[in-house]
Amino acid sequence: EARKAGLAPAEFDEDGKEINPHIHQYISSAPWYLNAERPSLKHQRKWRSDPNYTKSWYDRGAKIFQAEKYRKGACENCGAMTHDAKSCIERPRKKRAKWTNMHIATDEKIETFEQDYDGKRDRWNGYDASTYARVIERYEARVEARRKYLKEQQLKKIDKSKQMDFAKLAKHVRTTGGGSMRTVRRGIDGDSPVTSLRISKESVLHKKPKETLNSL
């Protein structure tokens, strides 16, 4: 009580650290199985050291040894020593390596890592973000090819429309007497009709509807 009131100096633990007098006794007093002679907070601290967790990942596809003959205890299918026939991921051979003693597969590199709680449950653990660049490249190439295809289709439509317009303006006429084909364009050259040349500028045209009726 005197320490809480500040009348007595604070107590020190085994490591020489000052113990707060306002800490409850059930926290400051060590359990009986530790055989502590004096109050200490050492049992409240983290006394287990963290294992040497690694941030590295498996070397995917790495090979370590290439055997020339089948070895006892190796995979019967491919001949690798690092797995058995049940765990073999190769295509089942018609004649296994155990019997042919040929085409022995290379032993894989087996690695073991000690991971923490989060590392074991991290679904993206070991993912290399740089590999996604290839996905982006394929996507950009696909978009570029689609853009190029659409541009070609648009140019084809423009050419087709131009040809249709030209076909409307052009008229193929076969000359008499077995002549060759000629193309007559109307309204393109801008030539004035011959009848307009016969009419002088000073002459005036008058309409006579009675003469038209009499002629009929």
Cβ neighbours around 200 below 10 Å, total: 7
Q: Give CA separation, 195 vs 108, 189, 191, 199, in Å.
A: 97, 17, 12, 7
Total domains in the fold of the chain: 2
User: Tens-digit pLDDT profile for the chain (216 aa)?
Assistant: 677 776 777 777 777 777 777 777 777 777 777 777 777 777 777 767 666 666 677 787 888 888 889 999 999 999 999 999 999 999 999 999 999 988 999 999 888 878 888 888 888 887 888 888 999 999 999 999 999 999 998 888 887 777 776 666 665 544 444 444 445 445 445 556 555 555 555 455 555 555 554 544
Asked if residue 197 is part of any domain, the answer here is no
Residue 68 CA to residue 84 CA, distance in Å, equals 18
Structural domain of 11: 1-47
- Which residue, 13, 30, 47, sits at the end of a domain? 47
Q: Are 72 and 115 in contact (CB under 8 A)?
A: no
Whole-model pTM: value is 0.36
Same domain, 37 and 82: no
